[in-house]
Amino acid sequence: MPRIMGLQSSLDIILAGKSLDAKRAKKKGLVDVLANPNTLEDEALLFAQKMVEGKKPKRKKKYAPKGFMDSFLESPLGRPLVFKKAREAVMKNSKGFYPAPLKALDVIKKTYNYSNRERALLVEAQGFCEVAVTEISKHLINLFYLLEDVKKQSGVPGVNVDPYPVNSIGVLGAGVMGGGIAYVAADKGVFVRMKDITNDAIAKGFDHAKSLWKKKLKRRRLTKYEFENRMARVSGTLDYSGFKGLDVVIEAIVEDMKIKQSVIGETAKHCKDNCVIATNTSSLSVTEMAKGHPNPKNFVGMHFFNPVDKMPLVEIIRGEHTSDEAVATIYSLTKRMGKTPVVVKDGPGFLVNRLLLPLLAEAMFILEEGAVIEEVDRYYTHNFGMPMGPFRLMDEVGLDVCIKVLKIFQESLGERIEVSELSKKLAANSERLGRKNGKGFYLYDERGRDTQVDETVYAELGLPKPKGGISSKEAIERGILQMINEAARALKEDKICETAGECDLAMIMGTGFPPFRGGLLRYADSLGAEYVVQQLEEYAQRLGIRFKPSESLVAMANNKTTFY
**Can you say whether residue 463 is alpha, beta or left, with left for phi > 0 and alpha for psi between -120 and 50 degrees?**
beta
**300 pairs with which residues across the strands?**
278
Handedness of CA 506, 138, 103, 20 (dihedral sign): negative
Query: For the chain, how big is the Rg over CA atoms in Å?
Result: 26
Cβ atoms of residues 298 and 350 within 8 Å: no
**Which alpha helices (DSSP H) does 451-528 contain, by range?**
456-460, 472-488, 500-511, 520-527
Strands of 429-469, DSSP E: 442-444, 450-453
Strand order in the sheet with 340-345: 234-237, 191-195, 168-172, 248-251, 276-279, 299-304, 313-318, 340-345
Range 33-38 contact pairs with CB under 8 angstroms and sequence separation of 24 or more? 33/57
Residue 301 pairs in a beta bridge with 279, 317
Distance CA(419)–CA(5), nearest Å, equals: 56
Asked if residues 173 and 135 have their Cβ atoms less than 8 Å apart, the reply is no
Q: CB count, 10 Å around CB of 267?
A: 21
By CB atoms closer than 10 A (0-12, 13-18, 19+), residue 147 is middle
Q: What are phi and psi for residue 341, nearest 5 degrees?
A: -90, 140
Q: Is 303 a catalytic residue?
A: yes
Instruction: List the end-to-end C-alpha distance of the chain, in Å, as a whole number.
Output: 39
Q: How far apart are the C-alpha atoms of 347 and 282, rounded to whole Å?
A: 11
> Considering 139, 208, 293, 303, which one is annotated as catalytic?
303
| Gap between the Cα atoms of 170 and 189, Å rounded | 14
Burial category of 136 from C-beta neighbours within 10 Å (exposed 0-12, middle 13-18, buried 19 and up) = middle
Coil/strand/helix, residue 278: strand
User: For every residue of 249-269, which 3-state class applies, written as one string?
Assistant: EEECCCCCHHHHHHHHHHHHH
Strands 313-318 and 442-444: unpaired
The HSE-up count of residue 214 (CA atoms within 13 Å, CB side) is: 6
DSSP-assigned beta bridge partners for residue 341? 314
372: left (phi over 0), alpha (psi -120 to 50) or beta: beta
b/e sequence 506-532, b meaning 16+ C-beta within 10 Å = bbbbbbebbbbbbbbbbbbbeeebeeb
Question: Rounded to whole angstroms, how far apart are CA atoms 162 and 328?
Answer: 7
Active site residues: 303
